Amino acid sequence: MLPAMAAKPQIAIVGPGRLGSALAISLKRAGYEISEIVSRNNAGSKQRARSLARRVGARVSPGDNARLGADIVWFCVPDREIASASRQLASIVSWEGKTAFHSSGALASDELNALRRHGASVASLHPMMTFVNGSIAPLQGVPFAIEGDKAAVLVARRVVKNLGGEAFAIRKQQKAAYHARGSFASPLLVALLVTGEQLARKAGLSAVEARKKMLPIVKQTIANYEALGPAGAFSGPIVRGDAETVGKHGRALTKTPEARAVYLALARAALRYLPARNRAQLKKALGR
C-alpha cells in the first residue's frame, strides 16, 4: 500500500441517500476506503445501500447489525434522525479513538452527544453544495462549514482537503442563519423557477417548453451575478423604473396567487437591495 493511502482512515457511511451516496463515491475517488454502508432495516433502504456498496466496494449493514469497524463514522441521515441514529449505534462498539461526523447545515455537533459520551470525537461538517439522485456534484472548491471537538475538526479538515473542498470554522449559533442563506442558493432557487413555470400555460407554453426557453437567461444571469455582482447583474423593469410594466405583471398574476405573492415579495426585496429608478411609482405599483 502506498504511504499516502495508509494515512487515510477508513470511513463508514450511515444513510445511503443523496449526500451519503455522493460522499461515498467522492471519498472513494479521493483514495478513502469505504468499509460499510449502514442503512435502515427496510427493503428499500437496504436495496439503496446495496447498490451504493457495490459502487464503492463496501459491505452493507442494517443499523441494528452494523459492524462499525471504521475510524470515521459519517452520519448522512436526515437532520431529524441524526440524534436517534447515533443513540442507536452508541452501544454497538467502543467509540474510544473514533471520529463521528454529521453534515447537517443547521444543527451542531451536539446532535452526536450520545457518541461523545461513549468516547468519540465529534464534528459537524456541512458542504455548501446540492446533492440529488442521479448527479454527483464535484466537490472542488466547495466550502465546508466545520465545528466540533478539536480532534474531530482536525480530521474533518484533512478529509475536506483531500476531497478538494475548502474547510472553514463556523460557530454553532451561526449555523441556522448560514444554512437559511444557503436555501436561497439552491432549494428556493428551484422553488422560484418552478413557481415561474405556473405561468407557462397562460403564456401559451407547456411547462417543459417554458423550462427550455428560460434556461439561457437563467444561466446568463448566474454568470453575470458571478462576474459583475448583484447590482451589475440586475436588469428588467425595476432597475429601469418601468412602473406600468410592473403593474401589468401584477394584474397578469391574479389567477396564480402563489406566483403573485412570490413576485411581490421579491420585487419589494429588489427595491430594498438593488438599484432602481422611479422608486415611488414602483412602490405604488407593488401595492405599497
Site residues, ligand NAP (CB under 6 A): 14-20, 38-40, 42, 44-45, 48, 63, 76-79, 81, 85, 103-105, 126-127, 130-131
Closest to 77 measured CA to CA, from 67, 65, 63, 91? 63
Which CB, 132 or 231, lies closer to ligand NAP? 132
Q: Give me the least distance between CB of 19 and ligand NAP, in Å please.
A: 3
Which CB, 3 or 44, lies closer to ligand NAP? 44
Residue whose C-alpha cell reads 444554512 in the numeric block: 179
Can you tell me the distance from the alpha carbon of 9 to that of 21, in angstroms, rounded to the nearest whole number?
Answer: 18
Can you tell me the distance from the alpha carbon of 164 to that of 38, in angstroms, rounded to the nearest whole number?
Answer: 25
Can you tell me the distance from the alpha carbon of 97 to that of 3, in angstroms, rounded to the nearest whole number?
Answer: 21
Which residue minimizes CB distance to ligand NAP?
Answer: 17
Q: Give me the least distance between CB of 135 and ligand NAP, in Å please.
A: 10
Can you tell me the distance from the alpha carbon of 201 to that of 214, in angstroms, rounded to the nearest whole number?
Answer: 14
Q: Give me the least distance between CB of 17 and ligand NAP, in Å please.
A: 2
Which CB, 77 or 152, lies closer to ligand NAP? 77
Q: Give me the least distance between CB of 77 and ligand NAP, in Å please.
A: 4
Which CB, 127 or 148, lies closer to ligand NAP? 127
Can you tell me the distance from the alpha carbon of 144 to that of 166, in angstroms, rounded to the nearest whole number?
Answer: 6
Single-letter code of the amino acid located at 207: A
